């Protein structure tokens, strides 16, 4: 189940731009951005 959250329009716009630049649909772009962010946070926690 996906959470129902408010996302700032500026962030949404950046993800939309990312999706267009990388030939992704919006759902794919959100998934990639979230995965990359989680990996970055996990890497910071290990240091």
What are the tens digits of pLDDT across the range 24-38?
A: 999 999 999 999 999
pTM value is: 0.80
Number of domains in the chain: 1
Dig out the tokens for 26 from the structure.
Answer: 């919006």
Domain with 26, as residue range(s), is 9-46
Q: Is the pLDDT of residue 12 over 80?
A: yes
Give me the phi and psi of 30, to 5 degrees please.
-60, -45
- Is the pLDDT at 19 greater than 80? The verdict is yes
Between CA 23 and CA 21 the distance in angstroms is 6
- Structure confidence at residue 45 (pLDDT): 77
Does 28 fall in a domain? Answer: yes
Residue 3 lies in a domain: no
In a domain, residue 13? The reply is yes
- Among residues 40, 42, 43, 34, which one has the least CA distance to residue 3? 34
- What gap in Å lies between CA 25 and CA 45, rounded to an integer? 31
Determine, yes or no, domain membership for 4: no
Q: Looking at the domain assignment, is residue 2 inside a domain?
A: no
19, part of any domain: yes
What's the pLDDT score for residue 1?
57
């Amino acid at each position: 189940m996906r959470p129902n959250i408010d996302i700032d329009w500026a962030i949404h716009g950046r993800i939309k731009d990312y999706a267009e630049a990388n030939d992704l649909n919006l759902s794919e772009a959100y998934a990639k951005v979230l995965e990359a962010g989680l990996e970055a946070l996990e890497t910071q926690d290990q240091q």
